């Protein structure tokens, strides 16, 4: 399970870099941009559920759809609930990684394609 969690983190970072690269290359939204925006909540919730399984936390299956619909609120709440006050540092790290991945993709697009 820890390998799956690590793999999900890498896939999430790669998705963010691709999304940043696409926003740097293209000004018109395409279908792929919508697909990448809808991938983020699925990736966050799946990462949260795998982490809960690794930590042996029981999350009822009937609430998975609720986590998906409210992923912006439920994922940070889960991190704070499962890790206590140390979760705040993890949330800050996650936000910084998200911003860095998206910015890296954007600046890579600007450097290669030029806009």
pLDDT at 12: 82
Angle ∠(91,97,100) on CA atoms, nearest 5: 140
How sure is the predictor about 115, in pLDDT bands with cuts at 50, 70 and 90? low
> Model confidence over 30-85: pLDDT tens digits?
776 777 778 888 888 888 888 899 889 988 888 888 888 888 899 899 999 998 88
> Model confidence over 94-112: pLDDT tens digits?
889 888 888 888 888 888 8
- Tell me if 92 sits within 8 A of 100, measured CB to CB: no
């Amino acid at each position: 399970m820890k390998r799956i969690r690590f793999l999900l983190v890498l896939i999430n970072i790669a998705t963010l870099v691709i999304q940043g690269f696409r926003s740097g290359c293209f000004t018109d939204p395409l279908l792929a941009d919508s697909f990448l925006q809808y991938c983020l909540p699925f990736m966050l919730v799946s990462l949260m559920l795998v982490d809960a399984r690794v930590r042996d936390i029981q999350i009822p299956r009937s609430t998975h759809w609720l986590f998906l619909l409210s992923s912006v609120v439920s994922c940070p709440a889960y991190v704070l609930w499962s890790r206590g006050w140390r979760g705040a540092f993890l949330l800050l790290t996650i936000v910084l990684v998200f911003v860095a991945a998206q910015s890296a993709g954007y600046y890579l697009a600007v450097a290669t394609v030029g806009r």
